[in-house]
Structure 1
Amino acid sequence: MDALDQRISQAFDGKVVRKDLVHRIKKGTNVPTFVLEFLLARYCASDDEAEITAGMEAVLETLQDNYVRPNEANKAQSVVATKGKHRFIDKVHVNYVEKDRRHWAALENFDSRKVAISEKFYRDNDRLLQGGLWCEVTIAYNEIEDDDYAFYIEDLRPIQLSRFSYDQYCEGRDEFSRDDWMDVVLRSVGLEPIKLTQRVKMHFIARLLPLVEPNFNFIELGPRGTGKSYFFSEFSPYSTLISGGQATKATLFYNNQRKKIGLVGFWDTVAFDEVGGIKVKDPDTIQIMKDFMANGRFSRGVEVIADASMAFVGNLDLSVQQIVNSEVYDLFQPLPKEFDLAVMDRFAFYLPGWEMPKNSSEFLTNNYGFITDYLAEAFHYQMKHTNRYEEVSKRIRLGSAVEGRDEKGIKKTVSALIKILHPSAPPSDEEFTEYVAYAVECRRRVKEQMNKRKTDDEFARINLSYFDTNGREVVVYCPESKNADATQEPLRKNIHNPEAATDLPDVYTQDEQAPEMEVAKVKSIQPVATEAGPIMLQDTPQEQHFTIYYGDTGHSYESIVGPYLIAAKVVEIEDPYIRATHQVQNFVRFCEAVLKVSTVRKIVLTTSYDEDTDIKELSERLQELKQSLIELDVELEVKINENLHDREIRIDNGWIIKIGRGLDFFQKPDSWFGIGVTDLTLRKCLETKVDIYTK
């Protein structure tokens, strides 16, 4: 134990654990961190290596005998029925059932929703009634056949904290300096602060901000393997992580059918992993999300108010220097297209994930830190019962470029940092100034990206600043973009009709404004209108008749068909040769190209087969494709026409595309491990004519 270990063990006796032991067991078991730490605190509360080794074996044996895995529920129930009773480690919820006029316990992994429980257990442990509690629980079998339940709880011992004293937590914090307390928090999440710079320490602390500040909107984008999602999946039992998939208003916000609030009403933090993979099918979901992110309330027939913070984490596939020096890309590039500027403007904080170190054992600590559940409980208490926003508002002075949402985001960030690092007393002026500068930087990162996307000057006031204790105004920059002209002074796209506004220059020809970067020349951009009104900016498609010559490259289904799918809902393709494996694969690639236009809801394939076609195999392949399209809310209809000879693609917006060879106009690759196998634009073509015209 080093000096910090000794101090934390003395100030928080019984609430700390050696973190390296957690790492050693965690690698081989899929058990919540706080369950492991509970067992380690019981069996490995020693500095003697022999006792620790024996304790580790006892922990593993306990997990083997008592931890219920979800796929072993039936076996666990059978053990109780056979032996009469057995002790398990499981999460226990207690619910009052109005119809039965009594309380029932529900065990998650044991998979029983109707377990009898004595009043003393949920009276002494409040959290059983408020989201559930991990416990060591002895389940007994009920031999009385007339009773309407098979199991009852004979004994229960909480693994998580059943009660928490915030006053004791604050008293313990007073024994440490700010820097020492920061190290204690970092060790509690398993990191060794000695290996980290002060700035990276702040980044790791910042990942905890959504756990302490209500309605705090946080985003972190960066490389893979930096542990972005760990803080929301493992650190706190009060946060939930949504991994990709579909985000619906019923799941997230309110289910009108069940009259029940969604995830934002049950969790302190709702985090979205791999945010770029989120599928949002209902536009109302985004509108409700905007309302909730703005003020913590929304209406779906009933007015709902909730405190949950929202965190979004994802991966950047391009280097940061490429992005900040690009006129085309911005640091919000991975976000789904449904996340418009209004959503982005609600982000209080953008953590630069590219500055975080990759996960490595060299950064893990071998020292003591808080039992995870204890620190998570402290953060939960602060989320629900403490407010430092007014304290921040009285001390902070921001510059004139700071607008309404900038100010709110900056103040909430500083408030959250103070909650974590100064729970019991205000920070010094020097510390407060440090937090303000950091908060301004991370809000500026949001505003810079919005300014790159906007065609006018709505978000152009990016030089956010604050006044230090000497009254001097300090403009804060983001280190990655400070010298990037493409971010600091982005070129504005000309959205006007060139004939109607000939005095406006073509912004894409001003190469001198973007040094060290080749600016692509593009056609003039015009609004495209449909019956429902303007929907997007797109090059106006024209009729075309051209030939793809043998050996040509640069062609794909997306480049040929894509420009003509504006506002399309139904795409019909007639091609008699969708039979062989490579032909079906071509059709799959065609469907992928069509899916990049979000309005398409149906694809109709008309094809044929001959006597050599394996009809069963073809049917199975098309059925698999049909099922995968259904998951994306697109219907595939397959028709068979034995007399089919022509090949054409008909789009319900009026365009007809005829490719002489149908979809099969690519040469077979010389090698299936060569260039052009997956990217069709790089694959050589066969000669064919293409005619594109309207009805």
Structure 2
Amino acid sequence: MEYSPDDLDRKLATAFDGKVVRKDLLHRIKKGTNVPTFVLEFLLARYCASDDPAEIQAGMEAVLDTLNENYVRPNDANAAQSRVATKGKHRFIDKVHVNYVEKDRRHWAALENFDSRRVAIGEKYYRDNDRLLQGGLWAEVTVAFNEVEDDKYTFYVEDLRPIQLSRFDFDRYCEGRAGFTRDEWMDVILRSVGLEPSKLSARVKFHYIARLAPLIEANYNFIELGPRGTGKSYFFSEFSPYSTLISGGQATKAVLFYNSQRHKIGLVGFWDTVAFDEVGGLKVKDPDTIQIMKDFMANGRFSRGVEVIADASMAFVGNLDLSVDQIVHSEVYDLFQPLPKEFDLAVQDRFACYLPGWEMPKNSSEFLTSRYGFITDYLAEAFHHQLKQTNRYEEVSKRIKLGREVEGRDEKGVKKTVCAFLKILHPNGSPTDAEFEEYVAYAVEGRRRVKEQMNKRKTDDEYARINLSYISATGQEVVVFCPESRNATATLEPSRRSIHGGAPVPSLVPAEPTAPAPSPAAPPAVATVVEPESTLLASATPQEIAMPAEPELTEQHFTIHYGDTGHSYESIVLPYLRGARSVTIEDPYIRATHQVQNFVRFCEAVIKAPSVRNIMLITSYDDTTNLQDLTSRLDELKQSLLELDVALDVKVNENLHDREIRIDNGWTIKIGRGLDFFQKPDSWFGVGANDISLRRCLETKVDIFKAPAA
């Protein structure tokens, strides 16, 4: 269907000329490439700044040509380096980091996909672009070959032009906002993150705005738990270059907060938002980490020998394995059920807002917009500016009136949520009384959801004041309820027995998770009945108590970020080998010595599943491949596997480009970079040289899904 601009498109394009892009073009090109959203939008804004279909088509072809010529794809590093050595220089689109290396007493640039960490770079580039030193910067970078043999580097940066905005005019942003109503501006924000607001209810729109709160309000603590496939982690992985997403693994105080050995601040000092994906799988081995987290979540500061103050917000997203109806009508379970056991009541009390993820629609193309929205990086800059430079707390405090049951942390959480809504929807002014009341009601509900769960967990009345309220403009006290628990006695008036201590309650109640969830439109036909613990334990066999069922395997979609640790072939693949006998891996880049070594490590991980009896490798080679060495190495591996009763078959497909792992139990695992997603160690005698779970990673996406039945 041919695109036709609507009134909001025309209004936005006029007010923010050069700062907007058609999101349907992004969706079309995004499906065929693994390039970050803001890089694609940068190119689309350059080549597709038109509504003429012929010009749009020519622009799309120019974008694709630019990507083919200049974007370094994973596993193309060797070819890219060869091109520079042959031509003398070449321009690339890549993410550039600059690190000061103490032993060399100089700065070196590291290009992620070009796969070189020792590229010479002039001072002017990192002096003018601070973000090169703080997490990296996507840029068009011209890399040149160094002909001087005596120099200790092969490549140097000849030119660098940031793709991400280097300057942002907040006054101009506010001036443009003044021409829109509140509802129009909300639709602009939603279209900017790729959603079509006409497909969403007013309540769901507010949910999506709330997801953005940690990106714009400093020291804001946010949690969203709900079903899989609702895009919980997208806002923190792709929307803003100022946000980092930690995908499972181990959280340490050195990585998150402060490294005492190196005297360097952790992630909270470099990012606006530190988000934890799949929070239920987060491992916290050091109790000190949780204590520092509590201090930081409370007031944005902590002490580790030195006093550290930072603005980073913390967001926690994860999945609920039981239906919400089961949970709210149960005396045993609560909506914090997926959190790690280390996240005690003190951590939970610091959450300002619990977004009900079960109300969010599943990811679907029907919710994607085909209209204009802000270039992602431009809106991200607007949010970053407000997080760092604006404070609406005093304004909200003067205007808001809260009820008697609102206590200290309740008040702070509610106010910070309202501040976030004001920054997002009213960066240049104040809302009407009706609009302000909407934000307050939503903020109170988000905080009440937190307090209800704490009250359910606590064995006394410390958190019993759950009827949070606000005073309306007419002077009336309005008590706010959470829709899911309004009629749930088990949540509103929980019993005061110890439900989290003593013998564990087997997962036999409430209803079995395999039973279909009741329709949200109607209450369940039969209320959940919770038997006393003694009855449950008496009726369960010893095997049922001692041998809990294996956790259900679920689809996963996450990003491993540059510099992450804690990932290995075993951690990614092994859980999905349950009952598998055959594993097929397609990877065209099993050629160089380190790539074959990676494949050996992969085989070592796979054979830890006792049922596996066959591994099939489908790969390819090029003119530079030493076939004799490659064949010899794979034959050695084949022989060693045979001794363990595992057969290795190797096939060559010269047209192979994709990378995926197929398991005969139906699961497919796609890793964007294939097996080659680890950085080369700084030293082969340092930590991470042998245990790859301790080795830093390159950035890649991981998709794990069940193949549809034939």
| TM-score, normalization by structure 2 | 0.71
Change (3 A) 1:459 1:226: same
Corresponding residue for residue 396 of structure 1: 400
Q: CA deviation at 1:107?
A: 2.0
Name 2:531's counterpart in structure 1. 520
Give deviations 1:512-564, integer Å, cap 9, x for gaps.
xxx93322122399xxxxxxxxxxxxx9x9xxxxxxxxxxx9646562489xx
In structure 2, the partner of 1:78 is 82
Q: Which deviates the most, 275-284 or 516-525?
A: 516-525
Checking the alignment, whether the CA contact within 8 Å between 1:125 and 1:163 is kept in structure 2 is no
Counterparts of 1:81 and 1:214, CA distance in 2: 46
Take 1:495 and 1:417, find their aligned partners in 2: how far apart are those partners? 37
1:327 aligns with 2:331: yes
1:90-489 → structure 2 map (5 Å cutoff): 90-95=94-99, 103-489=107-493
Q: Could you say if the C-alpha distance between residues 51 and 375 of structure 1 is closer, same or farther in structure 2, counting changes exceeding 3 Å? A: same
Pairing 1:643-654 to 2, within 5 Å after superposition: none
Deviation of the 1:495 alpha carbon: 8.8
Secondary structure of the residue aligned to 1:523 is: helix
Assess if the C-alpha contact under 8 Å between 2:188 and 2:373 holds in 1.
Answer: yes
2: CA distance between counterparts of 1:7 and 1:132? 34
CA drift of 1:217 comes to: 0.5
Matched-pair contact (CA < 8 Å) for 1:17–1:37 = yes
* Contact 1:136/1:159, CA 8 A, preserved across alignment: yes
Equivalent-residue separation in structure 2 for 1:84 and 1:465 (angstroms): 68
Structure 1 residues 85 and 432, CA, compared in 2 at 3 Å: closer, same or farther? same
What is the alpha-carbon distance in structure 1 between the residues aligned to residue 87 and residue 159 of structure 2? 16
Given residue 179 of structure 2, which amino acid in structure 1 is its aligned partner? E
Secondary structure of 2:75's counterpart equals helix
Q: Which amino acid aligns with 1:519?
A: V
> Secondary structure of the residue that 2:280 maps to in structure 1?
helix
CA 222–472 in structure 1, closer or farther in 2 if over 3 Å, else same:
same
Residue in 1 that maps onto 2:692: none
- Deviations for 1:70-103, whole angstroms, at most 9, x for unmatched residues? 4322322121111111110012234556666655
Q: 1:29 pairs with 33, 53, 59, which one?
A: 33
AA aligned to 2:404 is: S
Contact preservation (8 Å) 1:217, 1:310: yes
Q: Which amino acid aligns with 1:173?
A: R
2:545 to 534, 552, 559: 559
C-alpha contact (below 8 Å) 1:126/1:162 kept by paired residues: no
**Structure 1: how far apart are the matches of 2:397 and 2:179?**
27
Structure number with higher relative contact order (C-alpha < 8 Å, ≥ 6 residues apart): 2
C-alpha deviation, 1:253, in angstroms: 1.2
The corresponding residue for 2:46 is: 42
Q: Tell which deviates more after alignment, 130-139 or 335-344.
A: 130-139
Paired position in structure 1 for 2:641 = none
In structure 1, distance between residues paired with 2:500 and 2:85: 76
Q: Report the Cα offset of residue 302 of structure 1.
A: 2.2
Q: Residue 17 of structure 1 contacts residue 368 of structure 1 at CA under 8 Å; is this kept in 2? A: yes
Alignment of 1:582-661 (within 5 A): 624=608
Shift of 1:287: 1.5
Structure number with larger C-alpha Rg = 1
How large is the RMSD of aligned CA atoms in angstroms? 3.0
How far off its partner does 1:111 sit?
2.6
Distance 1:161 1:430 in 2: 36
Contact 2:21 2:41 in 1 (8 A): yes
Question: 2:275 is paired with a residue of what secondary structure?
Answer: strand
Contact 2:134 2:270 in 1 (8 A): no
Contact 1:275 1:335 in 2 (8 A): yes
Equivalent position SS for 2:141: strand
Matches of 1:128 and 1:234, distance apart in 2: 18
Distance in structure 2 (CA, Å) of the matches to 1:274 and 1:484: 27
Q: Is the 8 A contact 2:326 2:528 kept in 1?
A: no
How many angstroms apart in 2 are the aligned matches of 1:363 and 1:561? Answer: 43
Indicate the SS of the match to 1:240: strand
The 3-state SS of whatever aligns with 2:160 is strand
Q: Which runs of 5+ in 2 are unaligned?
A: 502-509, 511-525, 549-573, 579-603, 611-664, 667-710
Offset of residue 113 of structure 1: 3.0
Aligned partners of 1:327 and 1:432: how far apart in 2?
36
Deviates more, 1:409-418 or 1:244-253: 244-253
Q: Report the CA distance between 1:174 and its aligned residue.
A: 0.8
Determine the C-alpha separation between the residues in 1 that align with 2:482 and 2:239. Answer: 29
Q: Which amino acid aligns with 2:170?
A: Y
Show CA shifts across 1:466-520 (max 9, x none).
10111111110011111111111111116999xxxxxxxxxx9xxxxxx933221
Q: Which residue of 2 aligns with 1:664?
A: none
* Distance in structure 2 (CA, Å) of the matches to 1:106 and 1:27: 28
Distance 1:55 1:377 in 2: 26
Tell me how far apart the structure 1 counterparts of residues 547 and 372 of structure 2 sit (CA, whole Å).
61
What is the CA distance between 1:116 and its match in structure 2?
3.0
Matches within 5 A, 1:488-499: 488-493=492-497
Contact 1:127 / 1:162 at 8 angstroms: preserved in 2? no
In 1: Cα distance, 2:606 partner to 2:147 partner: 54
Deviation of 1:300 (Å): 2.2
Tell me, in whole angstroms, the C-alpha distance in 1 between the residues paired with 2:243 and 2:412.
23
**How many residues were matched structurally?**
535
Relative to structure 1, is the Cα distance of residues 121 and 220 closer, same or farther in structure 2, using a 3 angstrom cutoff? same
Query: C-alpha distance in 2, partners of 1:455/1:305?
Result: 35
CA shift for structure 1 position 314:
0.7
Gap change, CA 1:357 and 1:350, over 3 Å in 2 = same
Cα deviations by residue, 1:193-228 (Å, 9 ceiling, x for unpaired): 111111110100100000011110000011111100
Cα shift at 1:326: 1.1
Instruction: Check conservation: 1:239, 1:268, Cα contact below 8 A.
Output: yes
| Counterpart residue identity of residue 293, structure 1 | M
